[in-house]
Structure formats: structure tokens, C-alpha cells
Structure 1
Amino acid sequence: MTAERISPPTVADERTMLRAHLDFHRQTLELKCAGLSDAQLRIPSVAPSTLSLLALVRHMAEVERAWFRRVLHAEHDLPLVWSDTFDFQAAYETADAKVSEAFAAWRAEVGHARRIESAAGSLELVAHEHRRGIDVSLRWVMLHMIHEYARHNGHADFLRESIDGTTGV
């Protein structure tokens, strides 16, 4: 796992800022997982929760796919990464999950997301999100993804500290 985190610029145009902050949070999740064994990545938070670092990686692969490919790129029939029956909770089921597959899927979805975002002519691009029945702009999706990563990176902070005492990554 190569984990490098680049600080976002403090002065830039809006799109550059959004890209940089989203990538910063993506890199933070990867850093939170760096150097841990497969077993450590599976350690759950607090019973009865099944939340683990591995579950977060799987969940974020699902979230990247849902917003960028299914919504913005209109691949509406694309199945979820971890469930053919649209069970969003399946990402959290890690007992039989392969760590390498989880990271490969997450990185692939991040790659798709970056290509879709780069190809969009404007942050004003609007797409329809069918599950909620709402229209969303690319700007909204990027802000939502920053929020999603930031929230889950907070969970990752606690998980990592409980595993090996590492803080401040």
C-alpha cells in the first residue's frame, strides 16, 4: 500500500480546491490503514458494531461508485460493488472479504470517479439521483464526498488508535 497525503492548496480556483480536498481525504483513509495486517484491518470498533477499517474501505468503494458512476455517469444498472441486490450494508460484512480485493475495488472506483469528474465540463453538471428522487450537481457530489470521507476518517482515527495507538495521521 502506497500512502502519501498531499495537503490541499490554500489558494486556488473552486474546482482545484474540491479535487484537492477530496483527494486529501481519500489519502487520509489509505494512511489510516497503512502498515496494518489483514487481521488488524478487520478489528471491529465496539460491539455490536461491525465497523472496521476494512469495512470503511469497502463502504467508500461503494459510495464512490454510487455517486460518480451510477449517478453522475448515469450507469443506473451498474450493481453495487459488494451486492447484486442493492444491499448497501453488505460492504460492512468483512468476515470472508479479501483485503487486497477491497483495496483494489476502492482504488478502481476512485479512478473512475476522477475520470468522470475530469471529463465533466462544469461543476454545474446536474444528474438525477434515483434513490432519493433528487437532482444533484457535480459540485454537490464533490462536497458530499468530502463530507462522507471526513466523517468516516473520524471513525478511522478511533479505529486505528484502538488497534495500535497510532494517532495524528
Structure 2
Amino acid sequence: MTDVDAQGRAEPPLAAGEPATLLGFLDFQRATLEWKCEGLDATALRATTAASAMTLGGLLKHLAYVEDHWCSWALHGHVRQPPWDAVDWAADPDWDWRSAAGDSPAELLALWRNSVSRSRSLVAEALSEDDGEGGGLERLGRRVLPNGTAPSLRWILCHLTQEYARHNGHADLLRESLDGATGE
């Protein structure tokens, strides 16, 4: 039985295998971001706080990109899909953050949710592969990092969880500055 907290987030399993535990923690962090962005209009998703230009809308778009980058591009070697394929990342490395201001809340949430859904499918596919080269969590990404090494699926899942956890701290501050909503 899955325990659900007061915000509707499924708690990570207390006693499960490594894949289920890693995916449980990642999904909990994903649900936390969604909770922090829940019910906000375009103005709220564009709001900044203090000296930072970071916004909740920017977080949604950035994490949609991060999902696609690691689970589609790096893990499976797929070509970049829209909207990521039309970006000159060398000329505009912050495009995902900056361009979110022009997107509606519905567009941002759909982009993020679609990326998460695609990532879940791609991770499940990688976990089920038996390619004779150490499938499952040991399965290496199809693309290499700048240092010439390929990350394992285990590393990618840990990295995604870390990325969400770090940015959920930002989301906490941004949401509280908007309407005083706090929590975790």
C-alpha cells in the first residue's frame, strides 16, 4: 500500500528494491514541484523574489528540459524534440529559464508533465532492457559526458532527484513570497 501525505504526494517506499526506492524519491520530488506551482496564474509563475531572476514558471520549464535531456537525449541517445531542438544553447544557455515568461501556466504545466511522462516511460524501458551489457540501473547512457564517460541509469536517477530537491528549495521561497504558502 502506498502512503500519501497531506499534499497528495506518494511517499517513497520504506522497504523496496533499489529501482523502486530511487523512483519513489524522484516522484516525491516531482510531486513537490507540482504542489508548489499548483493553482498559480501567469503573473505568479513569472514572479521573482529578492535579487534572483528565478521564477516558478522558469523552474517548470527548466525541469522539463532536464527530464528530456537526461532520460531521452543522454540515456537513450534520442535527438532533441521540440521545443529544445530549436534552441541555440551555446548562444542562449538560459533559454529555458528566460523563455518561460512567454508561456501560459497551462503550456508550462503541460510541457513539464509531458516531459515527466516521457521520462517515466524511457526509464521503465531502460530498466527492462537486457542488452547483455549490464542492464537495469547499471545500463549506461547512449551519449557521453564532456569527459568521455557515460553515466549509468542509477547516476541519472540520483542526479534528477538532486536537481529537483535543490530547485524545490527555490520553489519553497518563491511560493512563500507570493502568497505565504509554506510547507516542507
TM-score by length of structure 2 reads 0.83
Q: Which residue of 2 aligns with 1:127?
A: 141
1:69 aligns with 2:61: no
1:28 aligns with 2:44: no
- The sequence identity of aligned pairs, in percent, is 40
Q: Per residue, is there more strand in 1 or in 2?
A: 1
1:161 aligns with 2:161: no
Any unmatched runs of 5+ in structure 2? 1-6, 129-135
Q: Which residue of 2 aligns with 1:106?
A: 112
Any unmatched runs of 5+ in structure 1? none
Q: 1:18 to 1:71 in 2, by over 3 A?
A: same
69, 74, 81: which one aligns with 2:83: 81
**CA RMSD, 1 decimal:** 1.7
With 96-105 and 60-69 compared, the bigger mean Cα shift is at: 96-105
With 10-19 and 87-96 compared, the bigger mean Cα shift is at: 87-96
Q: Which residue of 2 aligns with 1:144?
A: 159
- Determine the C-alpha separation between the residues in 2 that align with 1:95 and 1:12: 40
- Determine the C-alpha separation between the residues in 1 that align with 2:58 and 2:158: 22
Dislocated runs of 4+, deviation >2 Å: 79-84, 128-134
- Determine the C-alpha separation between the residues in 1 that align with 2:163 and 2:64: 12
Larger Rg: 2
The number of residue pairs the alignment matches comes to 165
CA distances 1:116-142 after superposition (whole Å, capped 9, x unpaired):
111113011101444523210000000
CA distances 1:7-49 after superposition (whole Å, capped 9, x unpaired):
11111110000111100000000000112222111101223x3
- Determine the C-alpha separation between the residues in 1 that align with 2:30 and 2:15: 20
CA contact (8 A) 1:65 1:109 kept: yes
- Determine the C-alpha separation between the residues in 2 that align with 1:13 and 1:79: 32
With 144-153 and 92-101 compared, the bigger mean Cα shift is at: 92-101
TM-score by length of structure 1 reads 0.90
